[in-house]
Amino acid sequence: MNKIVITNDGSHSIFNDKINECYHSKHGAIVEAEHVFIRNGFSRSIKKDLSILEIGMGTGLNTLLTKQKANIKKVNVSYHAIELYPIKKNVFSKLNFTDLIGMHQQELLDIHICDWGKHNIIDKYFNLRKDCIDLESFTTNTKFDIIYFDAFSPEKQPELWSEQIFRKMFDLLEDDGFLVTYCAKGTVKRTMKKVGFDIEVLDGPPGKRQMTKANKTS
Contact 16, 23 (CB under 8 A): yes
**Candidate residues 31, 52, 128, 135; the one interacting with ligand SAM per rule CB under 6 A:** 135
Judged by CB under 6 A, does residue 56 bind ligand SAM? yes
**Centroid of chain to Cα 76:** 17
Pairwise CA distance, residues 110 & 105, whole Å:
9
CB 66 within 8 A of CB 77: yes
Judge contact between 45 and 73, C-beta under 8 A: no
Q: Pick the binder of ligand SAM from 71, 85, 120, 170 (CB under 6 A).
A: 85
Q: Which is nearer to ligand SAM, 53 or 173 (CB)?
A: 53
Binding of residue 165 to ligand SAM (CB under 6 A): no
How is 107-157 classified by DSSP, letter by letter?
HHHHHHHSPBTSEEEEETTEEEEEE-S-TTT---S--EEEEEE-PSPTTT-
Q: Which amino acid is at 196?
A: G
Restricted to residues 20-39, the positions that interact with ligand SAM (CB under 6 A) are 23, 33
Between 75 and 151, name the residue whose CB sits nearer to ligand SAM.
Answer: 151
Q: Which of 82, 108, 173, 179 binds ligand SAM (CB under 6 A)?
A: 82
Cα–Cα distance for residue pair 197/170, rounded to 1 Å? 7
CB of 108 to ligand SAM, least distance (A): 11
> Between residues 147 and 160, which has the closer beta carbon with respect to ligand SAM?
160
Identify the residue among 9, 134, 174, 200 touching ligand SAM (CB under 6 A): 134
Residues of the shown chain interacting with ligand SAM in the complex, contacts defined by CB under 6 A: 23, 33, 55-59, 61-62, 82-85, 134-135, 150-152, 160
